[in-house]
Amino acid sequence: MQHEVIAKRYIKPLKEMCDATALENLSDLLGSVAEAFKNEKFLHIMHSSEVKGDAKTQLILDMVAPANSAVVNNFIKLLAENGRLTLIPELACELKREMSRLKRSYTGRIYSDSAIEQSSVDAIARDLGTKYDATIALEYVPAQFDGIRVEVDELNIEINFSKTRLNAQLVEHILKAI
């Protein structure tokens, strides 16, 4: 949670000084650098006290060199000066969220224990997108859930349809009617 707050503080000035295209390019670039943080050897280098800070900074600068951007290079140097190079994965994630907000384009998941046809997934995504005035893409994820659960994290949407709960409510309704 603390890293998220710190990441937001770094992203805010970037939003103010970059246009949408530059932000999207930076998001993609930081996303690719963040992938390196999934590698154990890379993580060991970044967290090692034996590797000098300048070497760590140069490693990241070499990774972003194809962008040929003074803004990106200065951003990496600023992170290094403040000892925040390991914050890059959180920054990439936060910048991706920000790009989703700007584009009003979100991704989510549908969980169910039974297979759902892609046409149904697309219909649910389209209807949710209409309701929230956004473009929503949903991915079906098989799960041990006795109904359907739809989640879109960036919009704080969670919708559940449980077969067990529906059956219980149906029985309760029938008993009240008798």
Average pLDDT in the chain:
88
Q: Which domain holds residue 167?
A: 104-177
**8 A C-beta contact, residue 137 and residue 108:** yes
Regarding whether 152 and 130 lie in a shared domain, the answer is yes
Regarding whether 143 and 75 lie in a shared domain, the answer is no
Phi and psi torsions of 18, nearest 5°: -115, 145
Confidence of residue 1 (pLDDT cuts 50, 70, 90): low
**8 A C-beta contact, residue 47 and residue 86:** yes
Q: Is the pLDDT of residue 165 over 80?
A: no
Regarding whether 117 and 96 lie in a shared domain, the answer is no
Return the structure tokens found at 98: 């920000």
Regarding whether 124 and 76 lie in a shared domain, the answer is no
Regarding whether 116 and 80 lie in a shared domain, the answer is no
Regarding whether 55 and 24 lie in a shared domain, the answer is yes
DSSP, residue by residue, 44-56: HHHH-SSS-HHHH
Return the structure tokens found at 178: 């008798």
**8 A C-beta contact, residue 60 and residue 80:** yes
Question: In whole angstroms, how far apart are CA 32 and each of 66, 77, 93, 147?
Answer: 12, 18, 11, 36
pLDDT digits (tens, 9 = 90+) for 123-162: 999 999 999 999 999 999 998 878 888 999 888 889 888 7
Residue reference for tokens 């029985």:
171
Q: Which of 77, 100, 123 delimits the end of a domain?
A: 100
Q: Which letter, b or e, does each residue of 133-166 get, where b requires 16 or more Cβ atoms within 10 Å of its Cβ? A: ebebebebeeeebeebbbbbebbeeeeeeeeeee
3-state secondary structure of 82: coil
CATH of the domain at 30: 1.10.520.20
Regarding whether 123 and 37 lie in a shared domain, the answer is no
pLDDT digits (tens, 9 = 90+) for 70-126: 888 999 999 999 999 999 999 999 898 888 888 899 999 999 888 888 998 999 999
Regarding whether 158 and 123 lie in a shared domain, the answer is yes
pLDDT at 125: 93
Confidence of residue 42 (pLDDT cuts 50, 70, 90): very high
Q: Which of 100, 123, 146 delimits the end of a domain?
A: 100
| Total tally of structural domains belonging to the chain | 2
Q: Which of 76, 100, 124 delimits the end of a domain?
A: 100
